[in-house]
Amino acid sequence: MNQTEQTPVPSISLAQARELDRAYYLQVWGDRPICIVGGEGCHLIDSDGNRLLDMIGGIAVNVLGHGHPRLAGAIAAQAASMIHCSNYYYNPSQALLAARLAGLSEATGMRGARVFIGNSGAEANEGALKLARGFFYRQGKPRAKVVSALHSFHGRTLATAAATGQSKYSAPFAPLPAGFVHVPFNDLEALRAAVDDDTCAVLLEPIQGESGVVPADPRYLREAESLCRRSGARLIIDEIQTGMGRTGSFFACQDSGIRPDILTLAKGLGGGVPIGALIADGETAKGFVIGDHGTTFGGNPLACAAALAVLDVYQEEHLTERAGRVGAMLIDALRRLGEAQPVIAEVRGRGLMIGIKLTRPLAVAVRDSLRDRGFLVGSVGAEVLRLLPPLILPESAIEPFVRDLGDVLGICAASADRQAASNATA
Ligand SMILES: *Cc1c(COP(=O)(O)O)cnc(C)c1O
């Protein structure tokens, strides 16, 4: 093992970060209210020294929170030895991670699974789509059509943007890869009408995250499975956000009792280190032969060592069950708040993947006020608040969070009422 030196992490003020971003970064994010300089457990620390409870978890990424000693140690040890060696050679972390993920996929009924490791969710889905097409091509019966759902989200590469059922992600970038068809989510009839003998894949999320935490009806997923069995199309389940135990099962699709042909994972897999994986059952995996797919960085020792450490912590601390249990407590507390607070229309999701649908367009105001009180949450559109906290969230964090949320909802609703009244008199 080589020696490591302690080098301080870069730190600048919010004003400096904002100025540099405006001058040099591609303007895709818009203005951001704070600059995060560090983290500790379930808290992030901003450049003014404020500690913020992280209820969005880097968008379902920071499953072990921030600065987890096991994860940080595994990354440091792997980095001190070797970060990258290319896929010209075997590396232990990649081989071990593939075996772990293949084993975990057996809970969905997948057999003889094979794994490919890339660097992001989009890359995992891109690989899954290529594999589904390759599967039919290799049999000499190419099929082009991919059926996915409206309001889905599958990534931002051209093919995954084409698969995504929201034109805002793809319209400016036409022409898109061909063959992508979208059907209304949870509409069994529409799915039956769309899946045919030219369909190579049906691609679905067990819970649509980016459109506001909308669960698939289990019957819908089972119908998708049986349509795939009938037509031969591959069933690709995008578990990039729902996977890694977040919903209380390692893969959310386990709850519907369906057997996917291909699963994709990313977000939480590396605990924050960029990594994505596709897992294909033994039969489907034959769709790629040597040279059909590849990556320079994917499966590198650093990312794989991080993922192995994450999975070790899951096993030792039963994090999947924990997400189910703590998530159920949080959902209960939010539903009780909803009974007292008419601005809450619905609390939906499973485990620690939660959407709070409001009756009024207050999500952004509520999100911003919660930040001022030390809580980071997400918002989707104008009416949904989104929670994707670390799976290590302590039970003791629930009560103060829900109390402040209740206060903020009341204040924001009253202020919107005053605004409406003054508009009416003006
Ligand atoms: C985030 C996400 C992706 C894309 O992952 P990236 O790592 O951002 O490319 C794809 N599908 C789902 C369901 C996601 O939540």
Instruction: Over range 251-275, report the average pLDDT.
Output: 98
CA-nearest of 293, 261, 259, 246 to 123 is 293
CB 102 within 8 A of CB 262: no
* 261 is annotated as an active-site residue: no
| pLDDT at residue 4 in the model | 72
Residue 6: pLDDT band by 50, 70, 90 thresholds?
confident
Task: Strands of 63-185 (E only): list them.
Answer: 114-118, 145-149, 180-183
Instruction: Over range 297-324, report the average pLDDT.
Output: 98
Residue 48 neighbours by CB under 8 Å, 6+ apart:
14, 34
Longest dimension (CA), the chain: 73
Q: Is the pLDDT of residue 1 over 70?
A: no
| pLDDT at residue 2 in the model | 64
> Which entry of 116, 135, 136, 153 is annotated as an active-site residue?
153
CA pair distance 32, 27, nearest whole angstrom = 12
| pLDDT at residue 425 in the model | 84
Work out whether strand 145-149 and strand 114-118 pair parallel, antiparallel, or are unpaired.
unpaired
Asked if residue 154 has its Cβ within 6 Å of ligand 1, the reply is yes
Q: Which amino acid is at 18?
A: R
CA pair distance 198, 181, nearest whole angstrom = 12
Q: Is the pLDDT of residue 9 over 90?
A: no
pLDDT tens readout for residues 144-177: 999 999 999 999 999 999 999 999 999 999 999 9
CB 406 within 8 A of CB 71: no
Instruction: Over range 196-210, report the average pLDDT.
Output: 98
* 180 is annotated as an active-site residue: no
Residue 12: pLDDT band by 50, 70, 90 thresholds?
very high
Asked if residue 270 has its Cβ within 6 Å of ligand 1, the reply is no
Instruction: Over range 2-19, report the average pLDDT.
Output: 87
Residue 88 neighbours by CB under 8 Å, 6+ apart:
none
pLDDT tens readout for residues 47-94: 999 999 999 999 999 999 999 999 999 999 999 999 999 999 999 999
CA-nearest of 162, 171, 242, 165 to 205 is 242
Residue 426: pLDDT band by 50, 70, 90 thresholds?
confident
| pLDDT at residue 11 in the model | 87
Instruction: Over range 377-389, report the average pLDDT.
Output: 98
Number of the ligand 1 atom closest to the C-alpha atom of 242: 13
Cα–ligand 1 centroid distance for 399 (angstroms): 30
Q: Where would I find the H helices in 195-300?
A: 218-231
Number of the ligand 1 atom closest to the C-alpha atom of 209: 15
Q: Is the pLDDT of residue 7 over 90?
A: no
CA pair distance 380, 360, nearest whole angstrom = 13
| pLDDT at residue 3 in the model | 67
| pLDDT at residue 75 in the model | 98
CB 241 within 8 A of CB 353: yes
Cα–ligand 1 centroid distance for 25 (angstroms): 22
| pLDDT at residue 8 in the model | 85
User: Which three-class secondary structure state does DSSP give residue 211?
Assistant: coil
CA pair distance 44, 54, nearest whole angstrom = 6
Residue reference for tokens 């943007």: 161
* 267 is annotated as an active-site residue: yes
Number of the ligand 1 atom closest to the C-alpha atom of 210: 15
